[in-house]
Structure 1
Amino acid sequence: MAGRDGTNERPVLICRNVTVSGRRTSLRMEPLLWDSLKEICEREDMTLNQLCTAIDQRRGGANLTASIRIVIVQYFRAAAGSTGMEEIGPEGSRVFQKAMDEVLPRFPA
């Protein structure tokens, strides 16, 4: 993959440890995606571990990192379409649940 300067450098990936469903695991994603997860956590009043666990419980056999990326995109699409990205009140929002319902089927835990 060619970078902006025409070199074959790969995009920078940041590796972070999270606890998902009670077990520690590593996720590698681009900085923008980590920033997006942080914003979702703040808007939804969730910790990173809680958010990743919620996604993990719904992803079935899909890759966790890929599922997180899809939820991030769908979250902001849902937020832009339903609330105009306005601030979320103290009770949280339904944006995260809507995003999850639209992209990840429900699987038994």
Structure 2
Amino acid sequence: MTRPDDPRPRKGSLTLSGHRTSVTLEPEFWEVLREMARARGASLNALAAGIDAARPPEQGLASALRVAALRWVRQGAGPEPRPGPGPG
């Protein structure tokens, strides 16, 4: 069983345009994506489908999801940052 504080990436299933797909992301990214979906009044699948549709073909889905989550947090729309280890 995975501990809640386990930083290892986790696989999640999404339905995009009627097709099931799996994406592996770190728990923090899943958390931010769920918060983004809640803030927009959308499901996680709908949020991911929008990100998928807007990504350039050379960018992978997992990368596009991470970048979208990072941009959302940087814009100040995301949850309050939690204390964590500093750089290096």
- TM-score bracket for the superposition, by shorter chain length: 0.7 to 0.9
Pairing of 1:8-19 with structure 2 (within 5 A): 12-19=8-15
- How many angstroms does 1:22 deviate by? 1.6
| Equivalent in the alignment of 1:64 | 61
Give the AA of the match of 1:72.
A
Query: How many equivalent residue pairs?
Result: 72
**Structure 1 residue 27 displacement after superposition:** 0.5
Higher helix share: 1
TM-score in terms of structure 1 length: 0.61
For the residue of structure 2 that corresponds to 1:12, the secondary structure is coil
Aligned to 2:35: 39
Deviation at 1:21, TM superposition (A): 1.8
CA-to-partner distance for each residue in 1:25-81, whole Å, 9 max, x for gaps?
001011111111111111111101100100111112110100010000101112x2x
- Aligned residues: CA RMSD: 1.8
CA contact (8 A) 1:15 1:26 kept: yes
Rounded Cα–Cα distance in structure 2 between residues aligned with 1:19 and 1:77: 27
CA gap 1:41/1:63 in 2 versus in 1, 3 angstroms? same
Structure 1 consecutive aligned stretches of length 4 or more whose deviation exceeds 4 Å: none
Identity over aligned residues, as a percent? 31
Q: Work out which of the residue numbers 69, 74, 87 in structure 2 matches 1:77.
A: 74
Q: Check conservation: 1:21, 1:56, Cα contact below 8 A.
A: no
Write the distance in 1 (CA, Å) between the matches of 2:67 and 2:50. 14
**Structure number with bigger Rg:** 1
Using structure 2 for the length normalisation, give the TM-score.
0.74
Q: Does 1:21 align with 2:17?
A: yes
- Which amino acid letter does the alignment assign opposite residue 53 of structure 1? A
